C-alpha cells in the first residue's frame, strides 16, 4: 500500500520570472512552502512580496518558471492550461476580495456555475446550490442578484460558490478586504467553522495580522521567499 504524502500542497524551489523589456523581474525566488491536509495556513507579506504570484501558484492559476508544485503528490508544474483548469475546478475553491460574482446571474445561478463546467447534472447542481446557500444563511436570497445583496451577503455567495464542487482546498485571497470589521469577523468565523467541522484545508493570503491570527500557522513571504514559518 502506497503511503499518502501528508502534504496536500508542496512548492519546491519555485521561481517566477517576468521579462520587463531587457530586465528580468523575479516575483518568486526559490519559494518553498508546504500545506498539510486539513491545515489552516495564512501567508502574510507586504505589498510587492510576491503574495499575488504565490496565490497563482497555490491555486493552479500559473506555473513556475523553474521549480515544482505538487498537489496531492502530483507535480502540476508542467501541465497545460486546460489540465490546470480541470484541476482547479475539482480541487480548489476560490474566495476573492472582489467577490467576482456575475452581476447578471442570481445567487443560485452563480453557485451552480462551477458545477456546470464539471458536468454535474442540472437537478444535482440546483440541489447543491440551494443546500450551500442555506448553509451560509442565504436561503431567502437565492433569487437575488449581486447588486441586490450587501457586501457580506455577496461574500457568502462567493463562499457557497467556492464550495460548489466540494474542493479539497479553499484559497482565500484577502477575503475580508471589502467588508466592514463586524462582517469581516463573521466571515472569518465561517472560514474557521469550515476548517474545524468540514475539515477543509484553507490557505489564506493577507496583509492583516488580525486575520492571520485565525490561522493555525503563519508563513511570512518577503522578496519572493518564505522567510519565517
Residue 26 — very low, low, confident or very high, per pLDDT cuts 50/70/90? very high
Alpha-carbon separation of residue 25 from 15, 16, 20, 57, 190 (angstroms): 10, 8, 7, 17, 38
Distance between start and end Cα atoms, the chain: 32
| pLDDT reported for residue 181 | 87
- pLDDT tens-digit profile of 57-103? 888 888 899 999 999 999 999 888 888 888 888 899 999 888 899 99
In a 10 Å sphere around its CB, with 0-12 CB exposed, 13-18 middle and 19+ buried, how is residue 60 labelled?
buried
| pLDDT of 1 higher than 70 | no
Report the distance separating Cα 133 and Cα 109, nearest Å.
Answer: 11
Tell the CATH topology of 7-228: Rossmann fold (3.40.50)
- pLDDT tens-digit profile of 101-131? 999 999 999 999 999 999 999 999 999 999 9
Amino acid at each position: 500500500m502506497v503511503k499518502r504524502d501528508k502534504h496536500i500542497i508542496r512548492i519546491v524551489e519555485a521561481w517566477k520570472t517576468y521579462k520587463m523589456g531587457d530586465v528580468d523581474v523575479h516575483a518568486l525566488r526559490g519559494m518553498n512552502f508546504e500545506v498539510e491536509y486539513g491545515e489552516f495556513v495564512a501567508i502574510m507579506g507586504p505589498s510587492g512580496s510576491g503574495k499575488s504570484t504565490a496565490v497563482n501558484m497555490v491555486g493552479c492559476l500559473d506555473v513556475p518558471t523553474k521549480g515544482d508544485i505538487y498537489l496531492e503528490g502530483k507535480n502540476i508544474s508542467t501541465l497545460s492550461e486546460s489540465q490546470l483548469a480541470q484541476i482547479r475546478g475539482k480541487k480548489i475553491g476560490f474566495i476573492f476580495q472582489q467577490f467576482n460574482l456575475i452581476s447578471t446571474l442570481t445567487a443560485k445561478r452563480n453557485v451552480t456555475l462551477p458545477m456546470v463546467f464539471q458536468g454535474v447534472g442540472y437537478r444535482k447542481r440546483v440541489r447543491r446550490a440551494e443546500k450551500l446557500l442555506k448553509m451560509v444563511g442565504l436561503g431567502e436570497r437565492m433569487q437575488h442578484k449581486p447588486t441586490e445583496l450587501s457586501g457580506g451577503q455577496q461574500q457568502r455567495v462567493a463562499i457557497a460558490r467556492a464550495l460548489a464542487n466540494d474542493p479539497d482546498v479553499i484559497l482565500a485571497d484577502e477575503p475580508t478586504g471589502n467588508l466592514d470589521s463586524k462582517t469581516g469577523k463573521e466571515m472569518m468565523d465561517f472560514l474557521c467553522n469550515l476548517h474545524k467541522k468540514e475539515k477543509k484545508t484553507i490557505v489564506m493570503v493577507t496583509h492583516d495580522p488580525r486575520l492571520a491570527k485565525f490561522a493555525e500557522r503563519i508563513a511570512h513571504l518577503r522578496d519572493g521567499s518564505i522567510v519565517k514559518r
